[in-house]
Structure 1
Amino acid sequence: QLMSVVAVGDQLVQQQHFGAERIQERLQDTLGNWNHLLDLAALRRKRLEEAVDFHQFFADADDVDIWMLDTLRLVSSEDVGRDEANVQSLLKKHKDATEELKNYASTIEALHTQAGQLGEQDRTAPEVVERLNSIDHRYQELLELAKLRKQRLLDALSLYKLFSEADGVEQWIGEKDRMLQTMVPAKDIEDVEIMKHRYDGFDKEMNANASRVAVVNQLARQLLHVEHPNCEQIVARQNQLNHEWAELREKAEGKREELNSAHGVQSFHIECRETISWIEDKKRILQSTDSLEMDLTGIMTLQRRLSGMERDLAAIQAKLDSLEAEADAIEAEHPEEAAVIRERITQITQIWEQLTQMLKERDSKLEEAGDLHRFLRDLDHFQAWLTKTQTDVASEDIPGSLADAERLLNQHQAIREEIDNYTDDYTKMMEYGENITAEPSTQQDPQYMFLRERLKALRDGWQELHQMWENRQQLLSQSLNLQMYNRDTRQAEVLLSQQEHVLSKDDAVMNLEQAENLIKRHEAFLTTMEANDDKINSVVQFAGRLCDEGHFAADKVSKKAENIADRRNANRERALQQMEKLKDQLLLHQFLQDCEELGEWVQEKKFIAQDETYRSAKTVHSKWTRHQAFEAEIASNKDRLVRVQQAGEELMKEKPELAELIAPKIKELQQQFQ
């Protein structure tokens, strides 16, 4: 409508209406008012939109506050669970809440962005700024509370883990404590052994569960180290567990001793019964000899049984001593068993005395048999000694050093002396045995036939012992010689190595004095070599003697001696070659020194001949006199030149390899003289 009015007005103005100016002014006022109205309407719209955003901001802020209030109830909860599983569940929920809390930072950031997009006067309004600060502050508080809540839950989890482990160990301790109370030792060894087997299984469990106690203590130390809020509870529970564990160990140790003691008592009774049975067996063996006649058959049978029983008697006596000591210990530990224990010992002692009395009676019976008994006894003794000595002589020990060889040889010589000491006993015993077995009435008697076989075996064994001793003596003597030879060869090889070391040095000769010193030193070395040659010859001669005697290591000895002789000859030849070389160097440096001295003399005279003082003699006579003296001196030294030339030529003739050094020197001297 306004635009149509304006259009009519513009048309009237264009038609140059008489009121055109007024119309134009009115149009301008109307359009101006219209534009102003439009501006006011736009401003009003903007303010209304800003008001909507303003109130929307506070509505969103209220939503944030409501969410944070709900989250506050979660993160500030005092509930830390009742057990390990409950805490694990709470930790999972708290983890979800914490993740949501961290993610909510984007919502708060969006609220800040929303506030920044408010109108100019609204965005800086105190209520907006204050509301944002409040939200930020509460959000940070929520983060801190969430962190504290997590730590409290973790502390609770650690505490409940500790309690859970401790509960498990304490439950096991209670079970084993009740089990130990049921382990009452019986009077039967089989029951005691069953209990010991059960105890061994329990002991293994104890060792296995010791690590569980260690785990609880380790957890407790870790929690105390980080200052856990429940330190008092932790210490109390730790002390309680350790106390119960220590009590169980003490009870277990006591039960071990109780079972071992009970087992020892029952074992003692068994050993007593076995010992009594053992002694009774020996008594029956002795009783079976009552019907024997004291002829050769009876004496040999009785003597054989008594001889076999001697070892058993010593073992029985040792067993009795052991049982006596064991009985004293059991009586001290178990006074209630003292009467039974002492009765056992008394019973064994009585049976033992009966056995020893029976032995005395049989020994007396043998003594009454006289010479025949003594002969058979000596025969048994000699046979045992012969067998033992043959075993000693048959030793295959080979000495590995000179000391071992000497020791074994001394031991072998001691055996020889022992054999010699038994010679008279052997002779008398063989004479007596041959006399009693030679009677015609004994030829068909089985016991005498057996005795003749024993005497024959004894004679063969005696001869075999001597032969074995001689063979061993030869082996040990050769071993001693071998060790002495090895010692001498080692010393000789050291000498040869020292010589080779000296000969390996090739000192360069720089002058005449050094050549003379080296020759003196080498002459001393040759003298020492000559002195040491006796030692080398001694080793070679020793080797030759061992080989001639058929030594068992002749091949090895011969090869070693050949090696030493070859090294000695090589060193000697090398030493002589070096001496020859040093003498050549001496002649060479003597020639070079003569050349040097003669050359210096020539240079000196040449300098005098060119000296102005020599040329400026005041009179002809004095010049002539000095010139004649100079010529005479040159003539006398001409002979020196000839001698030096002759020496050089002879040296080149004998040693052509030195010509390169000698020829230039001779030529140089000739040129200087000319």
Structure 2
Amino acid sequence: MASNAFDTSQVKDKRDAVNGRFAKIKSMAAGRRAKLNESHRLHQFFRDLDDEESWIKEKKLLVGSEDYGRDLTGVQNLRKKHKRLEAELAAHEPAIQSLRFSFCKASAFNSWFENAEEDLTDPVRCNSLEEIRALREAHEAFRSSLSSAQTDFNQLAELDQQIKSYQVASNPYTWFTMEALEETWRNLQKIIKERELELQKEQRRQEENDKLRQEFAQHANAFHQWLQETRTYLLDGSCMVEESGTLESQLEATKRKHQEIRAMRSQLKKIEDLGAAMEEALILDNKYTEHSTVGLAQQWDQLDQLGMRMQHNLEQQIQNQNRAVCSRVGSDLSWFCSRHFDKEKSGRLNHQEFKSCLRSLGYDLPMVEEGEPDPEFEAILDTVDPNRDGNVSLQEYMAFMISRETENVKSSEEIESAFRALSAENKPYVTKEELYQNLTKEQADYCLSHMKPYLDSKGRELPSAFDFVEFTRSLFVN
């Protein structure tokens, strides 16, 4: 190759290829040698076992012989043979010790079993489906690992049989016996089955608990939403939008809603029962809802209190309104009194009649001589008779009285409502006592002189009862 001949590269390639194959063969040979050595040791071990077993059988016949010699020479020969037997026993002791040492694996196997037993007998108590699922997965992984433990157990059983075949009484390297290990293995299988039953039982318990959580959450979430919607309904004036807007209609809507609130107490009771069942089952958390029984009960109680307060406030407003209506009746009846001063029933009052009517209603107008100026009365005339035609129509008179005393009275129905407010329990009649309690004496006298006695549905006259409905309508007809 140093001469740089034309085939140098080819030679080099072939050399490298041969060296590579040689190194591969060398490596393969080393591997095969190792395997052959391992196989040799294994078969040597088995052959030694067979030899030991054959030797033991042979020597067993010798030591079991009942031939103790017939004479001195015979006994001496037997003693020499026995000494050789003892020497052979000493020579075979290492082989037996080797088998005993191999059985020391029993200690490691028992240690593994104790750890497994501790894990398998640990109480099964979970708080969620996720936890029990994790335990069951760990149990399945443990069962999958039993194949290697089974292999170790089988090997120990084979070693035990070999040791026993040599008639060895005990093993100084371990205090475990194969019988004890067999009992341990049977106990392990029993514990595994018991563990599986416990896990299945806990799985069912957690599934029931989860259903209970979901049922509680479903009712609690729906109840909380209803609480929010009802509170909003009461506070944002939705009842006024739905109704005509009068205080009475608002009160009726509020009462209906409050009845609904009271009716929903049964739904809260259902939630409380579910919550008690969860506490009994030691369910301390619920991932499906953020609401608790105590919190929902407090919110319901607050909503119930809100409904009662709103009812009370509306009732107070209606009572105040009715008081105002009573004073309004006096103003309305002042118009009726004007009919009393309209002697000619012309629907008009002259200035003198108008002044007399005002004085009868309590207006403090000064007494002046005829022809003298009366600034206060002139100011009133500027309102009711601005063109000074000498007469005040009933319409002008009514407008003046309304502007002075109360809001506009536009129909007989409004006046009927005013009288109805005077009567107890909104009866269709008013009593003499009720008129004198709520009106001035002059106004009450006028009403009693023009109202007819009230007749019931059978045409019977009720004592001290007067028909304000017919009275009001007759005035408007006139």
TM-score, normalized by length of structure 1? 0.28
More relative contact order, 1 or 2 (CA 8 Å, 6+ apart): 2
Normalising by the residue count of structure 2, what TM-score does the alignment of the two structures yield? 0.37
Q: Name whichever structure is richer in helix by fraction.
A: 1
